[in-house]
Chains A and B, each alone.
Chain A
Amino acid sequence: MTEPEDELAKLHARQYWRANLRLLGLLMSVWFMVSFGAGILFRDFLDQFMIGGFPLGFWFAQQGSIYVFIALIFYYSWKMHHIEQHYHLDDDDEVED
């Protein structure tokens, strides 16, 4: 392995990690907003709106946050795979160890 190629690989690994952290920051903010935000901190405000027979804050606390959580995990899984392919860091052809 030559020096410049090694440097390039390291650069890619660093860029990949930064992209990962950015994505994590975004998704964890959503995670915080639907549970701690909508379900707890802003519940009283949201409860003045109704979704079906649910006060909105109550709905987020007992239903909505969970649905968003599932979406977050699958989005992360999909998006990360994208980023990894971009930097050729995916484990698609990895053999089982």
Chain B
Amino acid sequence: MSTQTLIYIFVGLSFALYIGIAIASRVSSTSEFYVAGGHVNPVVNGMATAADWMSAASFISMAGLIAFLGYDGSVYLMGWTGGYVMLALLLAPYLRKFGQFTVPDFIGTRYYSKWARTVAVICLIFISFTYIAGQMRGVGIVFSRFLDVQVEIGVIIGMGIVFIYAVMGGMKGITYTQVAQYCVLIFAYLVPAIFISILITGNPVPQLGLGSIVNDGSGLYVLQKLDQSLVMMGFGPYTDGSKSMIDVFCITAALMIGTAGLPHVIVRFFTVPKASDARRSAGYALIFIALLYTTAPAVAGFARINFNETVHQTSYQDAPVWFTNWEANNLIAWTDKNGDGRMQLAAGNAFDAAPEFSEERGASGERVVITPPDNSNANEVYVDRDIMVLANPEIAALPGWVIALVAAGGLAAALSTAAGLLLVISTAVSHDLLKSTFRPGISEKGELRAARIAATAAIVVAGILGIYPPGWVAQVVAFAFGLAAASLFPAIFMGIFSKRMNKEGAIAGMVTGLGFTFLYIAYFKLWEPRLNNAENWLFGISPEGIGVIGMLLNFAVAIAVARRTSAPPPEVDVLVEQIRVPRGVKPNALPSH
């Protein structure tokens, strides 16, 4: 069977599975729609959380980024997993004890203010849409490269699938679909990683393979070999970064705190039965996530070795098939700077900007790029980092079914996250804006209908973002984490750990953190992208890491304002005491010793 047929079969089967699950888990109440009735088993919830959280960025982009960043790529690994520790220890159990449906619910009730709730809803919608746009790009890449359909049709098919199970099944449908999607995506990630680890080192465990000796007879460890070959080509060593320590520190922290503040992840902990389950569930989620996250650096290292070896100094006429396939999709480009017909890799950008192609062919048969080459360096190959994971099985010449599996896995990762985000957006509209703020008298049936309409509208907007990706999408991914870190996290954290924090402080803090972070990122990413370098940054902190400073400002302003304004009312005191313990205090119980 041809690889193309296998891809259709794998993707088709996985889609059929998701729809089947959706039909089996239709819902009829808002509680089931928002939080799956609140009785999902913690292990199941952990798996669903893992799929929810691991987006197209984790599956498709992360290993590719690490492959080209080396040590600097660690910020994603530590940042995105370390945030789970904060979530499990500092937020999840208390929010579960609080026992409502949404993050704005908590902020609105704890700070006894519709304004606080509305600010939270705005943060949440902004964060979620930024994030969703990224998922849609992932869906588009997989469809256009593997299924040979236009990106537009690919996005519409993807949206159709999400529509069926999110609108019908709500959180319940999404939870069980995400479990299936987790299985598909982790299998799809591990199988090629294990194959490649065996091919390169003979060790079937990729996590150990990365620390093993390459079986090419050189006697070098994988990382030593990488360091050596990269230094020979003029790059810095793989195990050394090029970012400053303060920047690595701040980006890691911003990603961690941002993770802990991401509403679509937090809301997953509202679906388990009890506070103690929320704690455990985060642990299971992290195990399921770590399976992929500890494999990713191995995939990255192996991919870089394979990429260097198959491309560097190879003449274009002998270029592997995957190279020309991705070139046909505009994601790889080659320009023969020194005119020797061979492809050279070196440090620096091959072109002045992302390449644009003409219809012509060059001397060696390559696609001619209109964008002028950057002649300040010898690098001749442009490669979009997002392709590394998807191209990896082809680069290592693995069988067709592995390639088909990876295509299905990439889609599972993108769709599961998109569905979780859509649900958060629709809940914010129907529950936080409509039910809690503008139309408190709405019936449960009416609220459920509003939630479904909001989910449908959100899907359409996400689809449009996917088909016509605005130029700024890739530029502002930092927004989602930076803003979550600077706005939602401090408000939730202080709401639990400080009884004295009042609405004036919380609102002032959120607005300061949000405003500062927004302006800093927008200034460097949108208004003055040319100034976006370490010399102009505040304390040498890049826009990706500035959320940490936003968070500190949020804390400082909130505490200062709260000190000068009146303490929260007594019922808030009671509320905080209640969420701090897993159950109501039993007055007659004594310590057990």
Contacts and interface: CB of A to CB of B under 8 A. Distances in A.
| Chain A bound to chain B | yes
Interface of A: 1, 5-6, 8-10, 12-13, 16-17, 20, 24, 27-28, 31, 35-36, 39-41, 43, 47, 51-55, 58-59, 61-63, 65-67, 69-70, 72-74, 76-77, 80-81, 84-92, 94, 96-97
Contacts of A69: 81-82, 84-85, 286, 290
A51 B81 contact: no
Contacts of A63: 207, 210, 294, 297
A61 B583 contact: no
Interface string B73-99: 110011001101110111001000001
A51 B211 contact: yes
Contacts of B245: 40-41
B339 interface: no
Interface in B276-326: 276, 279-280, 282-283, 286-287, 290, 293-294, 297
A12 B589 CA distance: 9
B590 interface: yes
B202 to A, nearest CB: 13
Interface of B is mostly: helix
> When A and B form their complex, which 4 residue pairs have the shortest distance between CB atoms, in order from nearest?
A53-B221, A88-B589, A52-B211, A61-B74
Contact of B580 (A13, A58, A72, A86): A13
B387 interface: no
A72 B85 contact: yes
B340 interface: no
A2 B580 CA distance: 23
Nearest to B588: A5
A90 B582 contact: yes
Interface of A is mostly: helix
A58 B586 CA distance: 49
B252 A13 contact: no
Contacts of A28: 85, 89
A80 B208 CA distance: 33
Contact of A77 (B82, B280, B294): B280
B273 interface: yes
Contact of B297 (A9, A10, A62, A86): A62
B185 interface: no
Given A13-B577, A94-B582, A27 B74 contact: no
19 contacts: A13-B581, A13-B585, A28-B85, A39-B74, A43-B71, A51-B211, A52-B208, A52-B221, A54-B210, A58-B74, A66-B290, A69-B81, A69-B290, A72-B85, A88-B592, A89-B585, A91-B276, A96-B39, A96-B274
Nearest to B245: A40
Contacts of B582: 84, 89-91, 94
A73 B282 CA distance: 7
A94 B583 contact: yes
A65 B279 contact: no
B438 to A, nearest CB: 27
Nearest to A80: B279
Contacts of B224: 53
A71 to B, nearest CB: 9
Interface in B540-593: 577, 580-583, 585-593
B74 A76 contact: no
A29 B522 CA distance: 34
Given A13-B581, A77-B280, A89-B582, A61 B78 contact: yes
A27 B547 CA distance: 23
A13 B587 CA distance: 10
A15 to B, nearest CB: 8
Contacts of A73: 84-85, 88-89, 279, 282-283, 286
B213 interface: yes
B451 interface: no
Contact of B294 (A1, A66, A86, A89): A66
Given A31-B82, A54-B211, 19 more contacts: A8-B587, A9-B589, A13-B580, A28-B85, A36-B252, A36-B253, A41-B249, A53-B223, A53-B224, A62-B74, A62-B77, A70-B283, A70-B290, A73-B84, A84-B581, A86-B591, A88-B591, A90-B583, A94-B583
A55 B221 CA distance: 11
B89 A12 contact: no
A24 B94 CA distance: 14
A53 B222 contact: yes
B144 interface: no
